[in-house]
């Protein structure tokens, strides 16, 4: 049985091979059509437009020292400028508000400093009488020094704000 199946498979393969050998020859595809054109100029100017982006080789990142609304821009993008030249002016109203805010913060820091100084003097007397612990006095002394530092920082911020508000708002 096995031999019979193998012989039928062999006969089928031989018939398939013989059927594949005979056949018509397929003609080659036709040659593609080629259009010959003489190059012509693009127009009277000879210019072409291409998509893309142009970036400067060197760019300068400029920014204002203070925030605010731009009142006037005195130079255009790409324009050459000289050192010290005025580029833009800011609205002075914002700077005046910043100066007022710094003044209020300075006044609050001064009030905190006076209170901390008075508390520190009071604690010094109480620690001498041994009515409060030495650690409570040390904590109060640290609070006084912190208030002193905050008052100095507020004073510095006020000086900067006044300096900026006193000048014409020029960048």
pLDDT in tens, 50-64: 888 888 777 767 666
* Distance separating alpha carbons of residues 20 and 14, to the nearest angstrom: 10
Beta carbons within 8 Å of 137's beta carbon, 6+ residues apart: 123, 124, 126, 127
Q: Domains in the chain, ordered, with CATH? A: 70-166 (1.10.287.470)
* Distance separating alpha carbons of residues 97 and 151, to the nearest angstrom: 20
pLDDT of 76: 85
Q: Which helix (H) or strand (E) holds 55?
A: none
* Distance separating alpha carbons of residues 126 and 64, to the nearest angstrom: 52
Give the residue with greater pLDDT, 159 vs 115.
Answer: 115
Mean pLDDT of 163-171: 57
Q: Give the pLDDT band of residue 66 (cuts 50, 70, 90).
A: low
Please write the tens of the pLDDT for every residue from 5-41: 877 888 777 877 666 666 677 788 888 898 888 887 7
* Distance separating alpha carbons of residues 73 and 75, to the nearest angstrom: 6
pTM here is: 0.48
Answer yes or no: is pLDDT of 132 > 80: yes
CB atoms closer than 10 angstroms to residue 165 = 19
Answer yes or no: is pLDDT of 68 > 50: yes
Please write the tens of the pLDDT for every residue from 70-111: 788 888 888 888 888 888 877 777 778 888 888 899 999 999
CA distances from 12 to 17, 21, 100, 124, 148 (A): 9, 15, 104, 118, 107
């Amino acid at each position: 049985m096995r031999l019979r199946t193998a012989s039928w498979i062999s006969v089928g393969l031989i018939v398939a091979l013989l059927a594949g050998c005979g056949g018509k020859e397929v003609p080659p595809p036709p040659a593609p059509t080629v259009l010959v054109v003489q190059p012509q100029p693009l127009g009277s100017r000879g210019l072409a437009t291409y998509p893309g982006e142009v970036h400067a080789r060197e760019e300068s990142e400029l920014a204002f020292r203070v925030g605010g609304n731009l009142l006037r821009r005195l130079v255009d993008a790409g324009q050459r400028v000289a050192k010290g030249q005025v580029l833009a002016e800011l609205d002075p109203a914002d700077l005046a508000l910043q100066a007022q805010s710094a003044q209020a913060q300075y006044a609050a820091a001064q009030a905190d400093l006076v209170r901390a100084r008075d508390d520190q003097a009071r604690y010094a007397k109480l620690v001498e009488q041994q009515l409060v612990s030495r650690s409570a006095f040390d904590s109060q002394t640290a609070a006084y020094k912190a208030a002193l530092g905050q008052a100095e920082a507020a004073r510095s911020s006020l000086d900067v704000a006044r300096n900026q508000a006193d000048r014409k708002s020029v960048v």
